[in-house]
Amino acid sequence: MLFPMPLPIPRLSLVVRSTRGLAQKNGSAQIVLAIEPKPVKAMKKLEFTVTLTGINGPENLKLKLQMPGMFMGTNEVTLVKAGGEKYTGTGVIPKCHSGNKLWSATVELPGLTPSEMSFLFNVL
């Protein structure tokens, strides 16, 4: 009998909602994710902005868009340093036919522990 492989549950720490976006701490680094425009809609061009403070960040960051517990294809956005502590990139989230709205955006943080941080958000 075959059992489906469970998908990894995104690693989540305390997520704080602020006017700037969703914020998390990773050691001395603070990571804030903002997605525009709001509300976040499927099949629309979205701008992702990560603000990384407290560390000297790399030139690019990788952002993985996934649904918790459901494989929706590989969807990665490269966020390019836009000056200062901000990284920006655009992407599209596909429509989920299950009716589920919850998505995660996982920012890869090479060299940090943990080496990635996930943010959960709803998509209309």
CB of 3 to Cu ion, least distance (A): 20
Residue 42 found at the interface with Cu ion (CB under 5 A): no
Residue bearing tokens 């979205």: 46
Residue 96 found at the interface with Cu ion (CB under 5 A): yes
Look up residue 6 and give its amino acid: P
- Of residues 45-74, which lie at the interface with Cu ion (CB under 5 A)? 67, 70, 72
Residue nearest to Cu ion (CB): 96
* CA pair distance 109, 25, nearest whole angstrom: 12
Residue nearer to Cu ion on the CB measure, 9 or 70: 70
Residue nearer to Cu ion on the CB measure, 29 or 72: 72
CB of 71 to Cu ion, least distance (A): 8
Residue nearer to Cu ion on the CB measure, 15 or 72: 72
Residue 79 tokens, joined: 């966020």
Q: Could you tell me which residues come within 8 angstroms of residue 115 by beta carbon, excluding any fewer than 6 positions away?
A: 108, 109
Tell me the pairing of strands 21-26 and 29-36. Answer: antiparallel
- Binding site residues, Cu ion, CB under 5 A: 67, 70, 72, 96, 98
